[in-house]
A = this chain, B = another copy of it.
Amino acid sequence: MSQSLSRALRLLVELGRQPCSLDDAARVLDVHKSTALRLLRTLEEDRFVYRDPSFRYHLGSQFFALATTALDQRQVRTAAGPHLTALAAATGQTVHLAGYEDGHVVYWDKRDAAHTVRMYSRIGLPASPHTAAVAKVLLADLDEPERRRIARAITYTPHTPRTLTGPAELLAELTAVADRGYAVDHGEHEAFMNCVAAPVRGPDGKVTAAVSISVPDFVLDYERVLALVPELLGATRAISIDCGWSAP
């Protein structure tokens, strides 16, 4: 909609991947140097980017400032923090907090397990909607038409033999999840990874976030991961209460 802004944003994303010089920037955007210069200057004014002494541009400190405040604004995250730490400590496994933002399931926080493979996930990045246990939990709480809409829009990349392959399967899974009260990813994203996830509810009972535990199967087999569910539910229950939810 707004050309110059849109270009600037592309530039920021690029800078997130790697710092670059003015010429690099112009090349990435496919515009004249002077155009790139003007954009970068404007970004620099508000400290969204900064130039190091050798004229290379980096993401600026304004970025970190906004990112941290934005994270803090998500009240759920603040409330969940201590419980995530506790859950990670108690189980010794990787724990994620994720939320639903306008069509995407996004990781809001995580606690890495000290001694296992690090999962490929990053705070701020979207989760895979048809495989991640957190995604199933969050999608399961949407109303019927919205679920359908999303189920139809997804591209069902088959990561492993177990990955769900189409809208029908996913929708069935979602109703199952809603009934059961928790979701499972049984090697659907990484063949050797099993996850369980459960919902965090707000004052009105709506699901506002999801917490998951992820375990490589050479650490715990599938059965044992399922055995973590009560502990997980205890944590999500505690977080929900801290968020103002009252048990029915």
Shortest Cβ gap from A20 to chain B (Å): 12
Which one of B2, B13, B18 lies within 8 Å of A62 (CB-CB)? B13
Instruction: Kindly identify which residue among B18, B46, B63 contacts A67, using a CB–CB cutoff of 8 Å.
Output: B63
Interface string of A36-63 (1 = CB under 8 A from B): 0011011111111011100000111111
Q: Top 10 closest A-B pairs, CB basis? A: A64-B124, A67-B67, A65-B124, A59-B70, A16-B66, A61-B106, A50-B102, A63-B67, A2-B42, A1-B38
Q: Which of B19, B51, B68, B123 contacts A124 (CB 8 A)?
A: B68
A interface residues with partner B (beta carbon < 8 Å): 1-2, 4-6, 8-10, 12-13, 15-19, 38-39, 41-48, 50-52, 58-71, 73, 101-102, 104, 106, 108, 122-126
* Most interface-central of A4, A5, A63 (chain B CB within 10 A): A5
Which residues of chain B are near A19, meaning CB under 8 Å?
73
Q: Is the interface of A mostly helix, strand, loop or mixed?
A: helix
Q: How many copies does the complex hold?
A: 2
What's the minimum C-beta distance from A28 to chain B, rounded to whole angstroms? Answer: 14
What are the residues of chain B within 8 A of A101 when measuring CB–CB? 47, 50, 60-61
| Chain B neighbourhood of A18, CB < 8 A | 73
Chain B residue with minimal CB distance to A48? B9
With A19-B73, A52-B102 already in contact, 19 other A-B pairs whose C-beta atoms are closer than 8 Å: A1-B42, A2-B39, A2-B41, A5-B8, A5-B43, A6-B46, A8-B8, A9-B43, A10-B46, A16-B66, A16-B69, A51-B102, A58-B73, A59-B67, A59-B69, A59-B73, A63-B67, A64-B67, A68-B122
Task: Determine the chain B residues whose CB is within 8 A of the CB of A124 once the complex forms.
Answer: 61-68
Residues of B within 8 A of A66 (CB): 12-13, 15-16, 59, 63, 67, 124
Contact A5 B61 (CB under 8 A): no
